[in-house]
Structure 1
């Protein structure tokens, strides 16, 4: 499941087929779906991460992509 610098909180549900590459934090009670691929992401407590995500913050309300080149953020509503 995990690579370098991966932290999974209490009662978090990470599907066995999910891939957590590097610098990933999964909050307490969060869910990482089957087939998900996460790298440099924070999944807030109670949130659900699915698909391929890189440099994102996953909240219960949606996904925020962080662009380090511009230090800006783009929000995607669920």
Structure 2
């Protein structure tokens, strides 16, 4: 793999020495075996579903209101 030192588009980079085709093939075999052990099809649409965030988004919560500040009088629907 004779790539220029300025090429940063690859996923892997050899830092010392030269990667022979056998080395790259061995690495790919290990990565493929690891991916197969995790299960699932790489093209499976379920893999593209993002998990929900575990933090709270502040714009989805009502802003803080000071108990001493002005409030609208309660409506009949909100009275206890």
What TM-score, normalized to structure 2?
0.22
Higher Cα radius of gyration: 2
**Which one has a larger percent strand, Structure 1 or Structure 2?**
1
**Which one has a larger percent helix, Structure 1 or Structure 2?**
2
What TM-score, normalized to structure 1?
0.22
